[in-house]
Amino acid sequence: MTPTDSRRSVVPPYLLHAVAQAAEFPRAASAARTALASLELVQTPKHRHLVAPRGVSAGVDGSGTVDRSPQRTIADARGTTTLPGTIVRNEGDPETGDPAVDEAYAGLGATHAFWLDVFGRVSIDGAGLPLDATVHFGEDYDNAYWDGSRMVFGDGDDEVFRRFTIALDVIGHELAHGVTQYTADLTYQRQSGALNESVSDVFGSLVAQYAAGQTAEQASWLIGEGLFTDAVRGDALRSMRAPGTAYDDPVLGKDPQPATMADFVVTTDDAGGVHTNSGIPNHAFFLAATAIGGYAWQGAGAVWWDALTSDAVTASIDFAGFAAVTIDAAATRFGDGAAEHAAVQDAWRTVGVLA
């Protein structure tokens, strides 16, 4: 298996801990304990670069031409934890009839189309990197993750979580970790780690909005909507519109994400709260996107993309530093003093990152 220090998973450890202790969901509890065990080494990450930052990778043919097609390969782990598994669908192959295989294939394609159509980026590395995924990973595995080279999807336990291929924003979220890996390469701890998670939520949400043709006003701004079964009182894993409200369940507890710096969580868990405190920059993006209006990928999304690819964003940048870069990016793209520029400034002030 891929070393766990390179995993970027969508279900946060704090939620897995709650599921693991839920006697009401015995199957889910067992699955969550397995998922937690696979993430334990992430709690003290080694912070090695997965790939050289701002670089490119394979994806060009002998003539030096970049292949602009998705180049998808879906493998089936068949309930094991051995990667990559058996290849069951290649680029251009017809549907298999296996929902997880076909959803993963479609999700990779939708994500590839977003990056290409919106930002002219050919795959997640900008150079046509083939998109590989493995489905049916483990037994009732309660997570999906990017391991530095491929997407890995669990089937969920059917008590708390459904299969992880059903949510397009989850696929977009995980592949955005790959985009970050090839651009700013944000260190996965504390505020830079929370920004790493937030960037994935931002672009994961934008992938789903682009595929649905939704404006910022029409979008739900929920991350992982539909992953919870009907037994859980909750809508999603996270809410960018209202962090801390995605779920409130008598067994699993309440969504702990803060929306502002006034409630910033100081912790040593989860690499310094990367999944918790990401609610703050998430909410800033939501505020900027809805204030600008229209299609979010054309407004706030373009600003965040300019920031992510700016040399001013260092690997260890904090919230305030990233906010400053987005404000400068908004001024450059839309004009100093433009409505879009003011919207980005106001968003960061509202969440308490800027005075």
The DSSP result for 219-269, as a single string, is ---EESTT-B-TTSSBS-SEESSSTT-SBEETTTEE----SSGGGPPP-SS
With the C-alpha atoms ordered 170, 175, 179, 182, is the resulting torsion angle positive or negative? positive
Task: Name the catalytic one among 112, 136, 173, 275.
Answer: 275
User: Phi and psi (nearest 5°) for 316?
Assistant: -105, 20
174: annotated active-site residue: yes
Q: Which of 10, 7, 8, 6 shows the shortest CA–CA distance to 205?
A: 10
103: annotated active-site residue: no
Residue 339 tokens read as: 């409505």
The DSSP result for 309-322, as a single string, is TSTT--TT--HHHH
Residue 13 tokens read as: 């450890």
Task: Name the catalytic one among 174, 197, 225, 340.
Answer: 174
CA distance 89 to 73: 6
CA distance 160 to 173: 20
Catalytic residues: 174, 275
